[in-house]
């Protein structure tokens, strides 16, 4: 019994001695070994030990060297935390489609990744962004703005540069998340159209809940680019010539339901817009050229150069052959009708006495157009237009949607 007690006390003594020894430190000033917070010989404060530990992304072990002490994985570069939403290491692009409700549950939604706030999305407004995250799994939380009770969650695991996307829908009791997708980033699609100038193109396709849920075909200058499934946008780089370009959006397989946007390209350019499928065609909104939301995205000099003079009789005889072409006409205004928001309808007599039907939207600071003005019209031919005269008769004449008008 005495021998057992003696052995037990010896073990305790050795453990205590080891503990005390491990807590000892050497004074950098005089070299004395001490165990407290100050040197017992000269009073120098115990140096603070810098913690260079890092968490292994493979196994989770905390190590101090350049390789994990458990699995041998190499220490990641730039593994320190960052402020805001730039976490660590791996870039990821984010795209969130936010369904718009007509009446109920029209609240804004906040997005968090691993409890870090990312963005507040107004109801029905999509979000695109970029951030960096550490390798591994990350939790995504969507919640009603200002509430922690109405939420929805999902997650993704990242090991390489990737693109994360999903669809969210605001309900009374929760945020529903669907179509969660994580794909490796391979860079934008590059498509050669008619030149070598880069056009960075981003199309946001708003999703409809019930009606007009058709897919949309995208064309650039009549060159087919892609078919966008309903609610799925497009991002790519088009190689185009400098000058004016036209994007056309058609219902898949049905060019009668369409919409289009025109803009100028002078050097490397970016263009983005939102599209919405409706029963009357594709509506285009929020157009931005090089991050500018100017109403006129077309350079006037470029447009004038692109317009050609056509013969009235040829348009009158074969209107479909000229529909959509950029043309110019000079003449005298014989009738002006001004509408709301600067809209103007005119009849213009050219040098041969032929009458053109002109529609135009005048800018706020632009001078009014009056009868007997001599003008030159630059715009898109509508083919022929029919209208009813004040005497009840029907008249069909060539028409132009004017983009620019010069008053002589």
Instruction: Report the 3 state secondary structure along 280-312.
Output: CEEEEEEEEECCECCCCCCCHHHHHHHCECCCH
Q: Are 328 and 309 in contact (CB under 8 A)?
A: yes
Q: Are 34 and 25 in contact (CB under 8 A)?
A: yes
Assign residue 179 a region: left if phi > 0, alpha if psi is -120 to 50, beta otherwise? left
Positive or negative CA dihedral for 2, 5, 3, 12? negative
Q: How far apart are the C-alpha atoms of 169 and 17, rounded to whole Å?
A: 64
**From first to last of its 408 residues, what are the pLDDT tens digits of the chain?**
555 555 555 545 554 444 444 456 666 666 677 677 677 777 776 665 444 455 666 565 666 666 676 766 666 654 433 334 444 578 898 999 999 998 899 999 999 999 899 999 999 999 988 888 889 899 999 999 988 899 999 999 988 888 899 999 999 999 999 989 888 876 677 899 999 999 999 999 999 988 899 999 999 999 999 999 999 999 899 999 999 999 999 999 898 889 999 999 999 999 999 999 999 999 999 999 987 766 678 889 989 999 999 999 999 999 999 998 999 999 999 999 999 888 999 999 999 999 999 999 988 888 999 999 999 999 999 999 998 888 888 999 999 999 999 998
Q: What's the N-to-C CA distance of the chain in angstroms? A: 121
List the domains of the chain with CATH numbers: 90-184 (2.60.40), 189-289 (2.60.40), 307-407 (2.40.50.140)
Coil/strand/helix, residue 5: helix
Q: How far apart are the C-alpha atoms of 54 and 74, rounded to whole Å?
A: 11
Q: Are 312 and 376 in contact (CB under 8 A)?
A: no
């Amino acid at each position: 019994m005495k021998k057992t007690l003696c052995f037990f006390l010896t073990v305790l003594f050795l453990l205590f001695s080891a503990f005390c020894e491990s807590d000892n430190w050497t004074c950098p000033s005089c070299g004395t070994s001490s165990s407290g917070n100050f040197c017992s010989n000269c009073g120098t404060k115990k140096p603070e030990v810098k913690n260079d530990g890092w968490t292994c992304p493979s196994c989770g072990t905390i190590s101090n060297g350049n390789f994990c002490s458990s699995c041998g994985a190499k220490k990641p570069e730039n593994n320190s935390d960052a402020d805001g939403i730039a976490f660590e290491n791996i870039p990821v692009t984010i795209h969130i489609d936010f369904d718009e409700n007509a009446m109920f549950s029209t609240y804004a939604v906040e997005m968090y990744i691993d409890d870090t706030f990312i963005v507040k999305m107004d109801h029905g407004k999509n979000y695109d962004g970029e951030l960096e995250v550490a390798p591994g799994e990350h939790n995504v939380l969507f919640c009603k703005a200002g509430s922690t009770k109405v939420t929805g969650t999902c997650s993704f695991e990242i090991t390489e540069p990737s693109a994360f996307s999903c669809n969210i829908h605001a309900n009374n009791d929760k945020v529903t998340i669907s179509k969660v997708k994580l794909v490796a980033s391979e860079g934008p699609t590059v498509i050669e159209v008619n030149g070598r100038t880069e056009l960075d193109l981003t199309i946001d396709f708003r999703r409809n809940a019930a009606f007009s849920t058709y897919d949309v075909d995208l064309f650039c200058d009549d060159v087919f680019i892609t078919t966008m499934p309903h609610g799925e946008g497009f991002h790519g780089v088009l190689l185009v010539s400098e000058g004016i370009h036209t994007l056309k959006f058609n219902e898949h397989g049905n060019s009668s339901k369409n919409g289009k946007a025109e803009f100028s390209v002078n050097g490397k350019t970016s263009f983005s817009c939102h599209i919405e499928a409706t029963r009357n065609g594709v509506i285009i909104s929020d157009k931005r050229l090089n991050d500018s939301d100017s109403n006129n995205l077309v350079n006037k000099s470029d447009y004038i150069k692109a317009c050609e003079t056509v013969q009235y009789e040829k348009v009158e005889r074969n209107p479909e052959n000229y529909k959509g072409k950029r043309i110019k006409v000079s003449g005298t205004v014989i009738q002006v009708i001004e509408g709301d928001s600067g809209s103007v309808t005119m009849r213009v007599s050219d040098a041969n006495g032929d009458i053109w039907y002109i529609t135009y939207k005048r800018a706020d600071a632009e001078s009014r157009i009056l009868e007997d003005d001599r003008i030159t019209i630059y715009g898109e031919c509508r083919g022929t237009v029919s209208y009813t005269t004040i005497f009840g008769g029907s008249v069909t004449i060539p028409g132009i949607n004017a983009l620019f008008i010069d008053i002589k």
